[in-house]
């Protein structure tokens, strides 16, 4: 049977991994897909590298636009990254009737609605398994495996860099700055780590998963995003003492009046499986009404893990290449004309529990003042720890864990607590999630 011809745009880490996996497992992949899949042309500005990786097995060019308009190319794999030229290339490929596979979560989170609409109109497919959690087939699970379920919530460790940093801070008692430098030295963090440590990368991925889970358009611009750069080793140690671990989580929940969409450091009980995901590994916990909780764990980045997901999309598209477009799995799991108009809830309307740490004067009445403020706002306390002051010091730490309350109420409480004369500096606030079946 005639092979499916693939044009590969970008042969860096993921592109190289894709080429390697497809070459090594070609016979197995052909048996699964029903016909051979071959990369016939590679576009990369570094043509010398491309020729080295392909070793003559594919034509090499530095003109990516010539690939997306090539009549011999059936599927375009976009692994360039970014929002600009990648968007132009993907839309041009769709215009020319090409199916597209991409690992570009930033592109989909910001322009996915436009791209999927164009693909729908043209009758072509866009595969994006590799855009979220590397080699973990979470997109397949949400779009197909859990299709009988009403998804209630998703909580995921979906950025390996931040998970490595938090794991090292907990295990070694090191500062954020020290572990970040180590992560950069090991190649886990970029020279400019902003996208990772400030939660932007996780927000891109969460926006994609939320859209699929709840059948809503991509809404990255409405995702609340808070990173880990202000976390201290003291808070990580206090959390551990209280039976919790801190992870940067992407959380999306279906609520009565809309959808929560948020990325932030989160205390979760140490007994939860997801709390024990360490290092650069990723994990996604999905709660469905029929199946209950399911967890997906594995490598969230890297050449071959991500390349594995790219190739899986190539196989899917090859199988469905000649199928009636109306009978394919919709990009966002729900039929395009049946997407819901659910609003993304502002953070003020999010309900969760909280960890509060404050530095206070070691004198009578301080705790009473704090608890009175919380009581006035109907915030109940679940647990409280008051540390003994160090010798010669007249200040100490108070740590409070609250029951569920609205974010706007905790913000009001923090403002009033910080205005007390006996409280020094800012109150540290970290959200908490039980991640049980409630």
Enumerate the β-bridge partners of residue 399. 357, 385
Place of tokens 């200040």: 395
Task: Considering the candidates 205, 271, 408, 426, report the single residue annotated as catalytic.
Answer: 205
Query: Distance between CA atoms of 243 and 105, rounded to whole angstroms?
Result: 34
For 211, phi then psi, to 5°, come to -60, -40
The DSSP secondary structure of 335-404, one letter per residue, reads -GGG---PPBPPGGG-EEEEEEEEEEESSTTHHHHHHHHHHHTTPPEEEEEEPPPPTT-SEEEEEEEE-S
**Which DSSP helix (H) or strand (E) runs through 160?**
helix 160-172
- How is residue 363 written in tokens? 């004198």
Query: Distance between CA atoms of 47 and 61, rounded to whole angstroms?
Result: 7
Cβ proximity of 42 and 5 under 8 Å: no
Residue 174 Cα to chain centre, angstroms: 25
Return the exposure string of 264-279: e unless at least 16 CB atoms fall within 10 Å of the residue's CB, then b: bbbbbbeebebbebbe
Return the exposure string of 142-157: e unless at least 16 CB atoms fall within 10 Å of the residue's CB, then b: bbebbeebebbbbbbb
Cβ proximity of 310 and 103 under 8 Å: yes
Query: Distance between CA atoms of 298 and 17, rounded to whole angstroms?
Result: 17
- For this structure, is 205 an active site residue? yes
The four Cα atoms 141, 147, 148, 150 give a dihedral, to 10 degrees, of 90
Query: Distance between CA atoms of 391 and 81, rounded to whole angstroms?
Result: 54
**Which DSSP helix (H) or strand (E) runs through 428?**
strand 423-432
User: Residue 286, SS3?
Assistant: strand
Query: Distance between CA atoms of 94 and 100, rounded to whole angstroms?
Result: 7
**Where would I find the H helices in 173-217?**
176-186, 194-197, 200-214
Q: Exposed, middle or buried: residue 337 (CB in 10 Å: 0-12, 13-18, 19+)?
A: exposed
Query: Distance between CA atoms of 148 and 358, rounded to whole angstroms?
Result: 46
Q: Which residues are catalytic?
A: 205
């Amino acid at each position: 049977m005639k092979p499916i011809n693939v044009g590969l745009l970008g042969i860096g880490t993921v592109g190289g991994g894709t080429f390697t996996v497809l070459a090594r497992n070609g016979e197995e992949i052909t048996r699964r897909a029903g016909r051979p899949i071959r990369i016939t042309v590679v576009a990369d500005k570094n043509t010398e590298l491309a020729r080295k990786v392909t070793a003559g097995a594919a034509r090499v060019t530095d003109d990516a636009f010539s690939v997306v308009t090539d009549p011999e190319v059936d599927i375009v794999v976009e692994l360039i990254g970014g929002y600009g030229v990648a968007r132009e290339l993907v839309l041009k490929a769709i215009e020319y009737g090409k199916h597209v596979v991409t690992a570009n979560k930033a592109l989909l989170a910001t322009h996915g609605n436009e791209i999927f609409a164009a693909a729908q109109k043209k009758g072509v497919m866009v595969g994006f398994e590799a855009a979220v959690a590397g080699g973990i087939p979470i997109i397949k699970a949400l779009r197909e495996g859990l299709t009988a379920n009403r998804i209630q919530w998703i909580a995921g460790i979906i950025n390996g860099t931040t998970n490595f940093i938090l794991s090292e801070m907990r295990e070694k008692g090191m500062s954020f700055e020290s572990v970040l430098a180590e992560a950069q030295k090991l190649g886990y963090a970029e020279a400019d780590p902003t996208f990772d440590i400030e939660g932007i990368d996780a927000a891109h991925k969460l926006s994609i998963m939320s859209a699929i889970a709840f059948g809503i358009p991509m809404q990255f611009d409405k995702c609340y995003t808070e990173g880990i750069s202000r976390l201290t080793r003291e808070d990580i140690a206090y959390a551990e003492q209280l039976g919790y671990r801190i992870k940067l989580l992407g959380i999306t929940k279906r609520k009565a009046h809309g959808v929560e969409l948020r990325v932030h450091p989160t205390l979760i009980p140490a007994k939860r499986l997801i709390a024990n995901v360490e290092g650069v590994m990723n994990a996604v916990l999905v709660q469905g009404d029929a199946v209950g909780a399911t967890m997906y764990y594995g490598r969230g980045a890297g050449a071959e893990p991500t390349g594995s997901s790219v190739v899986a999309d190539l196989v899917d598209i090859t199988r469905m290449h000649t199928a009636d477009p109306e009978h394919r799995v919709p990009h966002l799991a729900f039929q395009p004309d049946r997407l819901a108009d659910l609003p993304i809830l502002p953070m003020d309307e999010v309900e969760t529990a909280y960890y509060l740490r404050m530095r206070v004067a070691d004198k009578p009445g301080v705790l009473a003042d704090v608890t009175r403020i919380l009581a006035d706002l109907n915030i109940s306390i679940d647990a409280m720890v008051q540390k003994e002051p160090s010798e010669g010091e007249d200040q100490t730490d108070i740590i409070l864990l609250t029951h569920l309350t609205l974010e706007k109420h905790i913000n009001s409480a923090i403002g009033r607590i910080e205005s007390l004369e006996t409280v020094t500096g800012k109150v540290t606030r970290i959200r908490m999630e039980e991640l049980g079946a409630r």
